[in-house]
């Protein structure tokens, strides 16, 4: 009982990440108490992977936005550099298992076609 009380005490205040969003894992942990040590470890690992995946996906979206802004501005050299960075980031996200290979290929193809249409 002492462990649950300590968890509730620690999680009573909503945890906030660096962007000011509340940490949903703390609230989730109060609802789902693991029954075994391995389940507890899986919860920790899942939370860690979720945070990493979220940051990688956010980074991908911001790179796409940077590329689209360069295209709209008509800055061809800047768009080419942004495209190179975005393609590399998509490949790294696939390698890390964050997004599926087909999703990355589709997005890379569409970004490349948009640059070709600018020329």
CATH number at residue 102: 1.20.58.110
CA distance 119 to 114: 9
* Residue range(s) defining the domain that contains residue 96: 56-118
pLDDT of the residue at 112: 96
Task: For the chain, 119 residues long, give each residue's pLDDT as a single digit of tens.
Answer: 455 555 555 555 556 666 666 666 555 555 678 889 999 999 999 999 999 999 999 999 999 999 999 999 999 999 999 999 999 999 999 999 999 999 999 999 999 999 999 86
Considering the entire predicted model, what is its pTM?
0.70
Write down the pLDDT at residue 103.
97
Total domains, the chain: 1
Is 27 domain-assigned? no
């Amino acid at each position: 009982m002492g462990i649950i009380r300590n968890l509730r005490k620690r999680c009573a205040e909503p945890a906030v990440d660096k962007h000011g969003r509340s940490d949903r894992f703390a609230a989730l942990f109060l609802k789902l108490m693991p029954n075994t040590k391995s389940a507890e470890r899986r919860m920790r690992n899942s939370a860690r992977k979720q945070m990493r995946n979220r940051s990688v996906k956010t980074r991908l979206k911001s790179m796409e936005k940077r590329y689209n802004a360069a295209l709209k501005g008509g800055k061809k050299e800047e768009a080419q550099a942004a495209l190179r960075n975005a393609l590399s980031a998509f490949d790294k996200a696939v390698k890390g298992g964050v997004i599926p290979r087909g999703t990355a290929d589709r997005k890379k193809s569409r970004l490349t076609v948009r640059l070709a249409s600018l020329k």
